[in-house]
Structure 1
């Protein structure tokens, strides 16, 4: 089961990153290098920070609850792409000075 779950996770991650990076490149066309570098910096910072607390989390909560906590946090993020789909145009028009307004 963990291997099957990892397969679904890998496919989901690939699809999410592909869509997110293409979206950022399309919306911030004049600053695409800076936007993609900022995205990479944030992803790398989370990746570098996770080992600092992961050992203590798995030791104190146990493998089952620590893994469940990560799963529950992932579930909390599911609505974000849908919210951006429905409210993205409004956010770009009203809150961003450098984003393209025509897409």
Structure 2
């Protein structure tokens, strides 16, 4: 029997994040995604605003997560994080601050 394990599928999905920090629409790096463009504060694009479920921070830079316009701090995602967001933060993220 041949097939692809769910771990391999998730790895392929996350690999779309070429560099930097990426946020994904669905669990395990699936769906639409966005890459944080630079250091500093950024709003998620409309297609992902309030819809992010997973992320990969390919940098050493901590990323502060907000559920509003730099208000409603959800927490900080450490450098190197790869996986699903905290269930309490799922589908709430609206803006980030790349603290580099």
How does the TM-score come out when normalised to structure 2?
0.26
Q: Identify, as 1 or 2, the structure richer in helix.
A: 1
Q: Identify, as 1 or 2, the structure richer in strand.
A: 2
